A and B are shown apart, each in its own frame.
Chain A
Amino acid sequence: MKTNAVTIQNLGYAYPKQINPSLSDVNLEITAGQRFGLFGPNGAGKTTLMNCLTGLLTYKQGKIFLLGKEVSRNDRSVRELFGFVPQDFSFYPELTPKENMEFFGAWYGLHKYDVKKRTTELLEVLGLSDVCDKQVREFSGGMKRRVNLAIAVMHEPQLLFLDEPTVGVDVQSRIAIIHYLKSLNKKGTTLVYTSHQLNEAEDLCEVIAMIDEGKIVAHDNLKNLLAHHKEEGLEGLFLNLTGKAFRD
């Protein structure tokens, strides 16, 4: 029997001074090794859920378990289990990709030798070797996205959260990133992915969940969902489940 990479039980979250909660009674299980996609319109609660999963938000209602360990603010050991690729560029633009990776590698708790080894590997795999000594601020959007990803996988996490990892990049960079993510998954890394790029998501994700107004409105294997809702693609399914009205 496969274990869960993520287990969410009765999760609720409301921002301070907010009347309607951003997340309401969310229950979700993501099996280890899955390529999981979380989708929903703007303001549906995707980022809030992602922030609760990564410990950026402290929730008071419900429970979250990552690879069997409960997420709590004071327990740093759970943070060693996952990597996170935020939507924003999360590195120091004044540093080179190599310097960024060396710094964040140390903060992941890696030894100096492992940091150097992983840095060399990742720079090579993500096509950044030639520019490894240039400051990241000089990079194109696609290169910055690859640096963002490289830092998140420095410690070879079993679980990887990706919040729109390919937004604003060219086709070449997107293909390279998706290809790399698939290769990570083949090695056993569970991917939890959110994006508005539905074609890309259809290619990457095996299992998806739709979230709307803070609630999970659908959760199943992508093929099953498409068949059940008689839709041919993820875009149709998305509109079917969340409607056509503007949300922001």
Chain B
Amino acid sequence: MYKLFATITKDIRILTRDKVGLTLMFVMPIILAIIIASIQNSTFKLVNENKIALLLCNRDTGSISKQFATSLDKAGIFQIKQVDAAETDEQIKSRMHAKDAFVAIIIPKDFSEKISANAKGIAEKALNKLGVQQQDTQKLIQVKINPITLYYHPVLQESFRRSIDGAIQGALQLIQSKQILKTVYASLNEKELPDSLENEIAANTAPINEIPVSRDGSRNVPNATQHNIPAWTIFAMFFIVISLGSSIVREKTSGSFIRLKTLPTSYLVALVSKQLTYLAVTILQAAVIFALGVWLFPVMGLPRLNIPSDILSLFLVTLICGWCAVSYAICIGVFAQTQEQSNGFGAVSIVLLAAIGGVLVPSFVMPASFQTVMQFSPLHWCLELYYGLFLEGGKLSDIWMNIIPLLAIIILIHLLIVVGLKKKNLI
């Protein structure tokens, strides 16, 4: 036991004197977590709170196009900038290149007239079917509406563009429906649809009650912090490969290793010491990042991190994730011949494992083939465990099934370590 104690003491001393290593292990992940959470939070705000600048060029003079513009405004996601109807498409495009707006809509000249005619055609068809009106259906002509032109800046991502498209389609459908309703009402009652009734019908949409599904019954709405802190904590834990992997390689290639090999103590003691020392580091990393999420993020205007109610499970999950990260780093350190190999392969492999594990891109948007590959990434199982606690409000009984594959990966990594040590005559 004294050997292990002395080795842990040695490792802690070396670790605390390595300022660059400490910076890599603590400061970098903190900066990363803050930056990513801030970016994602502002994206979240952009979609949900901030308004998207939209150039509206209305070349139509009718009332329906004005109603359409009002509907767009009421959608609540656009900051509409009206441009002169005489502006050409090229001028509008130039404005967009100058980042005046990311989206532009051009309403064609006879928009109101065509919408009205189209609505009339549909209304008459409907009245015919109801037997209220008798007209030759062959004579009813469906009026073709000239399309609204939507210009968008190429920097807009597809998912974002689709949400804009959805909002425009919604506004368009609303005015078309109103127009049909007005026509039908006028035909039946031989008078205009009263504004009060029009507004009542328009506003009478079925409500949607959005509730996050959580196991503990809490209704905390997940936010950028709640998604990002667990993900980037795992990333930070696994990035210990840079420090620990190169520490092992440095020891292996240094004079001290020559002496260690001639001493009556197994090198396994050194590896157990490194496991325990760096496991403590990963737990400390998680504690620091979680604490920042709870106390610093709100001060910075970011959403506060809600710590899961089951603290014991959180500790256990952090312990297992940390153990996996440390084991992986030791495995890289044992097999790498140089610090360059350890750092290069270690860093790239962690980014790849994070990518396929769902840390960088949500796993549900990945193609089917990747859904299988991700099972082999330890970061995927770590993320599942943390999300089970942080987002779903689960307890140990809810997440234990995800611990098993992670433990299996840890065992596999340890087997590789033993093979590597045996191959190098170190045990």
- Nearest chain A CB to B390 CB, angstrom units: 37
Contact B260 A107 (CB under 8 A): yes
Contact B261 A56 (CB under 8 A): yes
Contact B256 A99 (CB under 8 A): no
CB contacts (< 8 Å) of B128 on chain A: these are none
Proximity string of chain A (65-84) to chain B, C-beta cutoff 8 Å, 1 when within and 0 when not: 00000000100110110101
Contact B262 A84 (CB under 8 A): yes
| A91 interface contact, C-beta 8 A | yes
Q: Which of A121-179 contact B (CB under 8 A)?
A: 135, 151-152
CB contacts (< 8 Å) of B7 on chain A: these are 103, 106-107
CB contacts (< 8 Å) of A90 on chain B: these are 255-256, 258-259
Complex: how many Å from CA A90 to CA B14?
Answer: 15
Contact B14 A91 (CB under 8 A): no
Q: Which residue of B lies closest to A88 (CB)?
A: B255
Interface hub of A76, A92, A94, A104 (most chain B Cβ within 10 A): A92
Which residue of A55, A80, A107, A152 contacts B6 across the interface (Cβ within 8 Å)? A107
- Nearest chain B CB to A38 CB, angstrom units: 17
Q: Which residue of B lies closest to A78 (CB)?
A: B264
Which residue of B255, B261, B266 contacts A55 across the interface (Cβ within 8 Å)? B261
| B10 interface contact, C-beta 8 A | yes
Proximity string of chain A (91-117) to chain B, C-beta cutoff 8 Å, 1 when within and 0 when not: 110110001001111111101100100
Chain B interface residue bracket vs A: 20 to 34
CB contacts (< 8 Å) of B17 on chain A: these are 94, 135
Complex: how many Å from CA A28 to CA B177?
Answer: 105
| B364 interface contact, C-beta 8 A | no
- Nearest chain A CB to B50 CB, angstrom units: 50
Which residue of A84, A105, A106 contacts B259 across the interface (Cβ within 8 Å)? A84
Contact B259 A95 (CB under 8 A): no
- Nearest chain A CB to B15 CB, angstrom units: 9
| A233 interface contact, C-beta 8 A | no
CB contacts (< 8 Å) of B266 on chain A: these are 76
Complex: how many Å from CA A92 to CA B12?
Answer: 13
Contact B6 A106 (CB under 8 A): yes
CB contacts (< 8 Å) of A76 on chain B: these are 264-266
CB contacts (< 8 Å) of B262 on chain A: these are 54-56, 79, 82, 84
Complex: how many Å from CA A79 to CA B425?
Answer: 15
Complex: how many Å from CA A102 to CA B5?
Answer: 11
The number of A-B residue pairs with CB atoms under 8 Å apart is 80
Complex: how many Å from CA A107 to CA B3?
Answer: 6
CB contacts (< 8 Å) of A151 on chain B: these are 259
Residue total for A at the interface (Cβ-Cβ under 8 A): 34
Contact B2 A112 (CB under 8 A): yes
| B18 interface contact, C-beta 8 A | yes
CB contacts (< 8 Å) of A105 on chain B: these are 6
CB contacts (< 8 Å) of B191 on chain A: these are none
Proximity string of chain B (1-23) to chain A, C-beta cutoff 8 Å, 1 when within and 0 when not: 01101110110011001100000
| B263 interface contact, C-beta 8 A | yes
Contact B10 A95 (CB under 8 A): yes
CB contacts (< 8 Å) of A89 on chain B: these are 255
- Nearest chain B CB to A56 CB, angstrom units: 6
- Nearest chain A CB to B144 CB, angstrom units: 80
- Nearest chain B CB to A97 CB, angstrom units: 13
Q: Which of B229-261 contact A (CB under 8 A)?
A: 254-256, 258-261
Complex: how many Å from CA A92 to CA B9?
Answer: 13
CB contacts (< 8 Å) of B3 on chain A: these are 106-107, 109
Complex: how many Å from CA A55 to CA B13?
Answer: 29
Contact B264 A94 (CB under 8 A): no
- Nearest chain A CB to B61 CB, angstrom units: 80
Interface hub of B14, B17, B260, B263 (most chain A Cβ within 10 A): B263
Q: Which residue of B lies closest to A105 (CB)?
A: B6
Q: Which residue of B lies closest to A79 (CB)?
A: B264
CB contacts (< 8 Å) of B6 on chain A: these are 102-103, 105-107, 115
Complex: how many Å from CA A76 to CA B255?
Answer: 20
CB contacts (< 8 Å) of A135 on chain B: these are 17
Known interface pairs A76-B264, A107-B263, A108-B264. Does A56 touch B258 (Cβ–Cβ under 8 Å)?
A: yes
Contact A77 B259 (CB under 8 A): no
- Nearest chain B CB to A245 CB, angstrom units: 31
Complex: how many Å from CA A105 to CA B2?
Answer: 10
CB contacts (< 8 Å) of A77 on chain B: these are 264
Complex: how many Å from CA A151 to CA B255?
Answer: 13
| A58 interface contact, C-beta 8 A | yes
| A86 interface contact, C-beta 8 A | yes
Contact B2 A95 (CB under 8 A): no
Complex: how many Å from CA A169 to CA B28?
Answer: 42
Complex: how many Å from CA A79 to CA B263?
Answer: 6
Contact A111 B261 (CB under 8 A): no
Interface hub of B259, B263, B264 (most chain A Cβ within 10 A): B259
- Nearest chain B CB to A167 CB, angstrom units: 13
Interface hub of B2, B13, B264 (most chain A Cβ within 10 A): B264
- Nearest chain B CB to A65 CB, angstrom units: 17
CB contacts (< 8 Å) of A82 on chain B: these are 262
B residues with CB within 8 A of A:
2-3, 5-7, 9-10, 13-14, 17-18, 254-256, 258-266, 269, 425
Q: A79-B264, A105-B6, A151-B259 are in contact. List 7 more A-B contacts (CB 8 A).
A: A55-B261, A76-B264, A79-B262, A106-B5, A107-B3, A107-B7, A107-B269
Top-4 shortest CB links A-B = A106-B6, A88-B255, A90-B259, A90-B255
Can you offer 15 A-B residue contacts whose CB atoms are under 8 A? Answer: A55-B262, A58-B425, A76-B264, A79-B262, A88-B255, A90-B255, A90-B259, A94-B14, A94-B17, A95-B13, A99-B10, A99-B13, A103-B9, A109-B264, A109-B265
